[in-house]
Amino acid sequence: MGTLGSYLNRRLVIIIPYLWLLIFFLAPFFIVFRMSLSTSATAMPPYTPVFALSDGWAGFWSKVSELSFDNYTWLASDPLYLHAYLSSVVIAAISTFLTLLVGYPIAYGMAQAPRALRPTLLMLLILPFWTSFLIRVYALIAILKPEGFLNQVLLYLHVINEPLVVLNTNIAVYIGIVYSYLPFMVLPLYSALEKMDGTLIEAAEDLGCPPMAAFWRVTFPLSMPGVIAGCMLVFIPVVGEFVIPDLLGGSQTLMIGRTLWNEFNANRDWPVSSAVAAILLLILVGPIVLFQNIQAKADERGV
């Protein structure tokens, strides 16, 4: 009986994550993909064909023949969507790099701080999450606008002679993304740096390695799992970001999140918008799979 209970417990541990994935990922993706193969219609919901579980297999197969890939053909033929995807990937990559540049020194400083001070530093890092994301973005608008706090300080210090135009530019988008997603970069980096054995640096210095060379040859390679995890945690959600480009970016800031919102709400073209979302998900599957493979290899090495 004990062996049977242990066997069932092991199977339950495996089954629960798969059920979670099935219910909250595969099922919604199937619904979106099904919608992307439909055609737009003046109805509610605004697409056809519509089939539900209550229709049974007969109703399902009767409408399968009406599904088509015309929406994907449309996306491939319209350069707007291609530019939106490319722009989103480029902005996400640049933002991830900038977040890494800002986040790595912060994480390194936290890892080198006295152990009694580290919980306080972690709390200060997480503290902005206690405020609504929208409120923080609107606060950035008040800071970056021409008559905002940033220009007022720079004018007072005589650094500039006239207000800078930051709001409604890509620079404002980068500032908003770095500020909003910084904790997602710092926390994995801090976790990797905090567990690093400090005697390795001492051994490198004893062997005549300068501090900067010791950092690049010892510290940074050992922190690569944290670097990769942080970059994935920032890059993946930023590709589909909508709020920051919409509120801080201008009309020239083209990202797939804004395009998707326009198709769903302004154009009311749910099939095309579903095709946009399906392609976006497929684009993000690559980094996710790559991250999982890297994590699996790191676990095998005991990193």
**Terminal CA-to-CA distance of the chain, rounded, Å?**
38
Question: What band does 8 get if pLDDT is binned at 50, 70 and 90?
Answer: low
Contacts of 303 (CB under 8 A, 6+ apart): 225
- Helices (H) and strands (E) counted in the chain, each on its own, are 16, 2
pTM for the predicted model, two decimal places = 0.83
DSSP letter string over 226-275? HHHHHHHHHHHHHHT--HHHHHHS-TT---HHHHHHIIIIIS--HHHHHH
pLDDT digits 0-9 by tens, 240-295? 898 899 899 877 788 888 888 887 877 778 888 888 888 888 888 777 777 777 66
Number of neighbouring beta carbons within 10 Å of residue 263: 20
| Predicted local confidence at residue 5, as pLDDT | 60
Q: Share the mean pLDDT of the chain.
A: 83
Q: Do the beta carbons of residue 85 and residue 276 sit within 8 Å?
A: no
Question: What band does 76 get if pLDDT is binned at 50, 70 and 90?
Answer: confident
Q: Do the beta carbons of residue 111 and residue 197 sit within 8 Å?
A: no
- Tokens standing for residue 173: 């988008």
3 state DSSP class of 40? strand
Nearest CA to 233 out of 92, 33, 84, 83 is that of 92
Whole-angstrom distance, CA of residue 61 vs CA of residue 64: 5
Can you tell me the mean pLDDT for 116-142? 89
Contacts of 133 (CB under 8 A, 6+ apart): 180, 243
Give 23's DSSP letter: I
